[in-house]
């Protein structure tokens, strides 16, 4: 008997950036990660809408949903920090 209460968990995250160039660079850095899931417990799609990046996660359980969302949140944050650093360095 299967006691699983949750069939799947859907998470949608939308990030807005200063301009389309930054959004495209962050998209490019994350899109490969969305195609890789070693255990196929979470599927991720990433789309661009002008200056917004939309990440949708469809996970089979709460552990996978949390892991995938935390990973993408960290990767978006890291990508933005790197772009800010590069911008600061090139301005000086």
More confident position, 79 or 7: 79
Q: From start to end of 1-92, where are the E strands?
A: 9-16, 42-49, 52-59
pLDDT the model gives residue 79: 94
CATH class of the domain defined by 9-91: alpha beta
Q: For 75, phi and psi rounded to 5 degrees?
A: -65, -40
Q: Which residue has the tokens 């599927």?
A: 43
**How much is the average pLDDT of 87-91?**
78
Alpha helices, H only, the chain: 20-34, 62-91
Grouping H, G, I as helix, E, B as strand and the rest as coil, residue 83 is helix
Give residue 4's pLDDT: 64
Q: pLDDT, tens digit, for every residue of 8-29?
A: 999 999 999 999 999 999 999 9
* Residue boundaries of the structural domains of the chain: 9-91
Report the distance separating Cα 72 and Cα 84, nearest Å.
18
pLDDT digits (tens, 9 = 90+) for 33-77: 888 766 788 999 999 999 999 999 999 999 999 999 999 999 999
């Amino acid at each position: 008997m299967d006691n699983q209460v949750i069939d799947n968990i859907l998470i949608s995250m939308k990030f807005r950036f200063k301009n389309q160039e930054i959004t495209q660079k962050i998209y490019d850095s994350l899109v490969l990660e969305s195609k890789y899931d070693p255990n196929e417990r979470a599927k991720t799609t990433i789309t661009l809408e002008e200056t917004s990046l939309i990440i949708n996660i469809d996970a089979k359980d709460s552990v996978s949903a949390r892991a995938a969302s935390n990973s993408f949140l960290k990767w978006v944050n890291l990508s933005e920090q790197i772009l800010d650093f590069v911008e600061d360095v090139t301005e000086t």
